Amino acid sequence: MNRVKNSLIIAAYVLLVTIFFFGGYAFGSREGEKELVFDAPEPTVQAAVQAAAVKETDEEEKIFYTVIIQNGRLCLFKDDGGSRTLVSSDEISENIYPSADIAELRKGIEFDSMEKAQELFENFVS
């Protein structure tokens, strides 16, 4: 009697797990079938001229971001032409990182985008 009872409990457990697994798989698959629609405006001659004008002004004022170690602090600077602005700064322990990485950071690492510079900054700080 006890053996039959245990077998029925195990069989019910396996059946429920199987139903939940395949039910979740079927329900999740159905949500992924939505059609994506991208609504982008048609390119015009005026948009091309504006893009060319923006590109010319970008070349005049090149903005880049620098991650550098100064006085035991990891600093993130925004460099635009002649001025340098501190965006973020945090103390780090230099002895837990490889010496090659620290040497490169002392020289300063330059990035074109804030996202890439911030990603490197956060990798060292966290």
Give the amino acid at 107: K
Q: Are residues 82 and 116 in the same domain?
A: yes
Strand partners for 111: 65
Q: Report the pLDDT value the prediction gives residue 29, as an integer from 0 to 100.
A: 61
In this prediction, residue 48 carries a pLDDT of: 54
Domain interval for residue 9:
1-36
The reported pTM is: 0.50
What phi-psi label fits residue 107: left (phi over 0), alpha (psi between -120 and 50 degrees) or beta?
alpha
Number of domains comprising the chain: 2
| 112 domain residue, yes or no | yes
Tokens coding 91: 């103390």
61 and 79 Cβ atoms separated by less than 8 Å: no
Examine residue 11 and state whether it is found in any structural domain, yes or no: yes
Residue 106 pLDDT more than 80?
A: yes
Q: Give the pLDDT of residue 39.
A: 56
Task: Give a yes or no: residue 52 inside a domain.
Answer: no
For residue range 25-73, list pLDDT tens digits in order.
666 665 555 554 555 555 555 555 566 555 555 455 688 888 889 888 8
